[in-house]
Amino acid sequence: MADIFSDQISNDELQILADNLPIPCWIASANGGIFWFNRRWHEYCGSTAAEMAGGGWKSVHDPEDLPRILASWEPAFAAKLPFETTMRLKGRDGVFRSFLTRLEPAFDAAGQLIRWIGVHTDISAQLEAETKLKAVYEVERQRISYREATLAQLAEGIIITNADGRILFVNQAANDLHGVLKLDVAPEEYAQSYSLFTEDGEPHPFTTLPLTRAVVNDETVIGARWRIRRPDGHEVLAIGNAQPVYAAGGEKVGAVLTIKDDTARHAAEKALAEALAVKDALLVEVNHRVKNSLQIVTSLLMMQAQRSQSPELQEKLKQACARVDVVARLHQHLYAAGNHNRVNLGSYLRDFAQETVRAFSDGDSVEITFNELANIDIEMDRAVSLALIVGELLTNALKYAFTGTSGNCIELTISSTETEISISISDNGVGVPTGFEIAASLGFGMKIVTGLLKQLSGELTIIPQERGTGFMIRFPR
Question: What does the pLDDT read at residue 5?
Answer: 44
Whether 110 maps to a domain, the answer reads yes
Q: How confident is the model at residue 24 (pLDDT cuts 50, 70, 90)?
A: very high
- The CATH number that applies at residue 224 is 3.30.450.20
Burial of 360 by CB count in 10 Å (0-12 exposed, 13-18 middle, 19+ buried)?
middle
Mean pLDDT computed over 407-415: 87
CB 284 within 8 A of CB 335: yes
Whether 143 maps to a domain, the answer reads no
Q: How confident is the model at residue 186 (pLDDT cuts 50, 70, 90)?
A: very high
Last residue of one domain, picked from the residues 230, 261, 292: 261
The amino acid occupying position 383 is A
Q: Are residues 118 and 27 in the same domain?
A: yes
Question: What does the pLDDT read at residue 269?
Answer: 73
Last residue of one domain, picked from the residues 301, 320, 340: 340
Q: Are residues 353 and 469 in the same domain?
A: yes
Q: Are residues 181 and 254 in the same domain?
A: yes
Mean pLDDT of the chain: 81
Q: Are residues 421 and 314 in the same domain?
A: no
pLDDT digits (tens, 9 = 90+) for 293-327: 555 656 656 666 666 666 766 666 665 666 566 66
Query: What HEC string does the chain produce?
Result: CCCCCCCCCCCHHHHHHHHCCCCCEEEEECCCCEEEECHHHHHHHCCCHHHHHHHHHHHHECCCCHHHHHHHHHHHHHHCCCEEEEEEEECCCCCEEEEEEEEEEEECCCCCEEEEEEEEEECHHHHHHHHHHHHHHHHHHHHHHHHHHHHHHCCCEEEEEECCCCEEEECHHHHHHHCCCCCCCCHHHHHHHHCEECCCCCECCHHHCHHHHHHHCCCCEEEEEEEEECCCCCEEEEEEEEEEEECCCCCEEEEEEEEEECHHHHHHHHHHHHHHHHHHHHHHHHHHHHHHHHHHHHHHHHHHHHHCCCHHHHHHHHHHHHHHHHHHHHHHHHHHHCCCCEEEHHHHHHHHHHHHHHHHCCCCCEEEEEEEECCCEEEHHHHHHHHHHHHHHHHHHHHHHCCCCCCEEEEEEEEECCCEEEEEEEECCCCCCCCCCCCCCCCHHHHHHHHHHHHCCCEEEEECCCCCCEEEEEEEC
Question: What does the pLDDT read at residue 42?
Answer: 93
Is the per-residue pLDDT at 405 higher than 60? yes
Q: Are residues 317 and 350 in the same domain?
A: no
Last residue of one domain, picked from the residues 231, 261, 291: 261
CB 464 within 8 A of CB 410: no
Mean pLDDT computed over 172-200: 90
Strands 113-122 and 235-246: unpaired
pLDDT higher at 465 or 238: 238
Whether 106 maps to a domain, the answer reads yes
pLDDT higher at 416 or 284: 416
CB 435 within 8 A of CB 393: no
Q: How large is the angle between the packed helices 345-360 and 311-337, nearest 10 degrees?
A: 150
Q: How confident is the model at residue 204 (pLDDT cuts 50, 70, 90)?
A: very high
Whether 133 maps to a domain, the answer reads no
Phi-psi region of 292 (alpha: psi -120 to 50; beta: other; left: phi over 0): alpha
Q: Are residues 376 and 453 in the same domain?
A: yes
Q: How large is the angle between the packed helices 311-337 and 380-396, nearest 10 degrees?
A: 140
pLDDT digits (tens, 9 = 90+) for 249-307: 889 999 999 999 888 777 677 777 666 655 555 455 455 455 555 556 566 566 666 66
Q: How far apart are CA 294 and CA 329, in angstroms?
A: 9
Mean pLDDT computed over 346-370: 77
The amino acid occupying position 159 is I
Q: Are residues 357 and 456 in the same domain?
A: yes
Question: What does the pLDDT read at residue 327?
Answer: 61
pLDDT higher at 164 or 324: 164
Q: How far apart are CA 96 and CA 181, in angstroms?
A: 52
Determine the length of the chain.
477
Whether 148 maps to a domain, the answer reads no
Of 18-22, 31-35, 418-422, 470-474, the poorest mean pLDDT is in 18-22
pLDDT higher at 420 or 343: 420
Q: How confident is the model at residue 2 (pLDDT cuts 50, 70, 90)?
A: very low
Q: How far apart are CA 220 and CA 246, in angstroms?
A: 12
Question: What does the pLDDT read at residue 58?
Answer: 92
The CA-to-CA distance between both ends of the chain, in Å, stands at 115
How big is the chain by its Cα radius of gyration, in Å?
A: 51
Burial of 40 by CB count in 10 Å (0-12 exposed, 13-18 middle, 19+ buried)?
middle
Mean pLDDT computed over 78-94: 94
Is the per-residue pLDDT at 456 higher than 80? yes
Is the per-residue pLDDT at 8 higher than 50? no
Q: Are residues 468 and 350 in the same domain?
A: yes
Whether 475 maps to a domain, the answer reads yes
**Residue 63, domain extent:** 12-122
pLDDT digits (tens, 9 = 90+) for 134-154: 988 887 787 777 666 666 666
pTM, rounded to two decimals: 0.42
Mean pLDDT computed over 52-70: 92
- The CATH number that applies at residue 370 is 3.30.565.10
Q: How many domains does the chain have?
A: 4
Starting at the edge strand found earlier in the chain, the sheet holding 470-476 runs 366-373, 408-416, 420-427, 470-476, 459-463
Whether 87 maps to a domain, the answer reads yes
Q: Are residues 277 and 180 in the same domain?
A: no
Q: Are residues 384 and 421 in the same domain?
A: yes
Q: Are residues 352 and 477 in the same domain?
A: yes
Mean pLDDT computed over 370-397: 82
Q: How far apart are CA 195 and CA 381, in angstroms?
A: 54
Whether 3 maps to a domain, the answer reads no
Of residues 44, 97, 104, 45, the one with CA closest to residue 73: 104
Q: Are residues 87 and 216 in the same domain?
A: no
Of residues 101, 96, 95, 97, the one with CA closest to residue 120: 101
Nearest-10 Cα torsion for 330, 334, 336, 337: 130
